[in-house]
Amino acid sequence: MDFIGIDVGTSGCKASVVSQEGMVKKSAQREYKILKNRNGWACLSLSVIWNSVRDVLKEISSAASEVKAAAVSSLGETIAFLDEGDRLLMDDGMTYIDSRNTEVWKCLERRIPEKELYEITGKTQPRIATVNQYNYWKATRPEVFEKARKILFVDSFVAYMLSGEAAYDYSTASNTLFYDINTYRWSDKLADAYGIDLNLFPQVTSAGTFLGNIRREVSEELNLPAEVKILVGCHDQISAAIGGGAVVPGDAVLGEGSTEALNLLVGNEQTEQLKNAGLQIEPFIQKGMYISLLSRLMHGNCIKWFVNNFASGLRQICKREGCSIYDHLNQNCPGDSSGIIFLPYLSNTYFPDIDVPMGSFIGMDTTADIYHLYRAILEGLSCETAELFDLADDCGVRINKITASGGVSRSSAYMQIKADITGKRIYTLENTEAGIHGLAMLCAVQFGCYKDLSEASRQFSKTACCYTPEKDALHVLRRHRVFSNIVKKSYLNL
């Protein structure tokens, strides 16, 4: 028995056929670009996303004869508007790094007291929530709302296009900022305060719930078996946590993608500690369990930005030589950055009280080259990771095991730097696509291959490597924090 996991991210989508034993039989991926302009707008083309998903599913269909079910995970917050004929009413899918989110939140933030909002939603970053996109499009595109019959997240949009049925899971619903994570219901109070029409949003249920059979025309077009069941998916951080082995309280997974998220699984008894510390909480698969989602919004995006803008010549050389530029940079990464500091604050959503991008290289001289700058980026990102661990430590939540997953975790150079700077032992997985494995695990449990996620995890989430701290890098962390504080204070005083 096989399953398909479909992971839709900010920079591309991936899909794999995975056996019930956790073996990847075939994978495919497509990249796409965030559409930006000088005003800080950042959108994804929803039609490009759907066409990219179709392409990857076609590519893996030759290995899909035994597939019984499929599930989708995606980036949070971004929404799609559909009319009664299931047509997209506009192609723009606003992302969490779009500056318009922050502008709208300035108008909304006083409608509900901050503490009350946190108690209901568990969210600490309201400036990136769906409520901002909703209100922006309502004000600027009223004709869309006149025709809209459904508002879907990217994962539920893809699942709807596959099955003709729509539902959210608890985690995606919580990204709206008007879902009550305590009662597992839409909050009428928040919806009224923010002017939300809840009739446009589908039912909310647990991830892994049967949604519907694949549409016949989609099955025929994509060469997928007609009996494939489409299951309710989830936020990509939740599927990455599951696939990374976070199935019991105290397990933590570092999602190393476009953003970095420390996904720490906690039970009801630990949520009060997190709430007292004001840390972000998101519902997990089972009611009564939560993920403490501590994130840094610019992560893999920083590396991709650097390569795209400063290493185009090197990219062409690597292409001619038949190697990956990322592999080349990792292999030639020096032992230190020669004192160069990188602050990965390339988005104005990074610090809500400052509201301007502050990305910086500091400390360069004429000997600095592309490899020193690359090392500085990895060190700067690792210093930000250390702060995530400090947040968990400060609120007294014990972390049993840290597993890194996602594309960036393939870099052994980076993982060693991260272990040295954080002082933590970090495990990586045999299969770095934890999100897709997490979706396959949900399907496998739903079809009775395993009694629960804990049993499935022992088969799916196998360790590839363990990185232990090899040298004292406390001076790097201290230097980063000093300059980070100086830069933040400088911008606050502008």
pLDDT one-digit tens code per residue, 397-420:
888 899 998 888 889 999 999 999
Give the pLDDT score at 274.
83
Q: How confident is the model at residue 222 (pLDDT cuts 50, 70, 90)?
A: very high
Q: What is the pLDDT of residue 433?
A: 85
**Is the pLDDT assigned to residue 460 strictly greater than 80?**
yes
The predicted model gives 277-285 an average pLDDT of 89
pLDDT of residue 121 exceeding 70: yes
pLDDT at position 319 over 80 = yes
Percent of all residues in the chain with a pLDDT value above 70, rounded to a whole number: 100
Predicted TM-score of the model (pTM): 0.83
pLDDT of residue 394 exceeding 70, the answer is: yes
Mean pLDDT of 101-130: 94
Rounded to the nearest integer, the mean pLDDT of the chain is: 93
- Mean pLDDT across the stretch 82-91? 96
Tell me what pLDDT residue 275 has: 83
pLDDT the model gives residue 393? 85
Instruction: Tell me the DSSP string of 151-166.
Output: EEEHHHHHHHHHHS--
Tell me what pLDDT residue 26 has: 97
The predicted pLDDT at position 300 comes to 85
Q: What share of the chain has pLDDT > 90, as a percent?
A: 79
Q: How confident is the model at residue 352 (pLDDT cuts 50, 70, 90)?
A: low
The yes-or-no verdict on residue 353 having pLDDT over 80 is no
